[in-house]
Amino acid sequence: EPEVTQTPSHQVTQMGQEVILRCVPISNHLYFYWYRQILGQKVEFLVSFYNNEISEKSEIFDDQFSVERPDGSNFTLKIRSTKLEDSAMYFCASRAQARTSSYEQYFGPGTRLTVT
């Protein structure tokens, strides 16, 4: 069964450093998302991406964040200058095209980001 994959599974970085989190969505999906979950808290939406551009973003997704789909398979989240409060689990998700009216999202296993 196709699944969303994410790398690395765990990333440790120092405050102020740049990190890139990588995701490979399900191959025929067209909508891509990043969410984060701080330990013990709820899953929070960061950004959605469709047709090679950001379609929606939350207040969390400030100028320190960017997303990119550099090729036909990868979807990346970059944090330019990490802060301690960026420590969280980051989930990538993808969804099939709208024509199927299929709104369910499929999540990857997550990348645990630890900022020290």
- Residues lying near another protein in the complex (CB under 8 A) are found at 4, 31, 33, 35, 41-45, 48, 50, 55-56, 89, 91, 93, 95, 103-110, 112
Q: How far is the CB of 41 from another protein (least distance, A)?
A: 7
Rounded distance between C-alpha atoms, residue 17 and residue 33, angstroms: 23
3-state secondary structure at position 98: helix
Residue 100 Cβ, how far from another protein at the closest point, in Å?
A: 12
Q: Identify which of residues 14 and 53 has a Cβ nearer to another protein in the complex.
A: 53
* Burial class, 109, CB count within 10 angstroms (exposed 0-12 / middle 13-18 / buried 19+): middle
**Contact in structure between 35 and 21 (CB atoms under 8 Å):** no
Question: Which residue's CB is nearer to another protein, number 81 or number 110?
Answer: 110
The phi and psi torsions of 98 (rounded to 5 degrees) equal: -65, -25
Could you tell me the smallest distance in angstroms from the CB atom of residue 56 to another protein?
A: 5
**Vertex 63, ends 23 and 116: CA angle to 5°?**
70
Judged by CB, which is closer to another protein: 81, or 102? 102
Question: What minimum distance in Å lies between the beta carbon of 16 and another protein?
Answer: 27
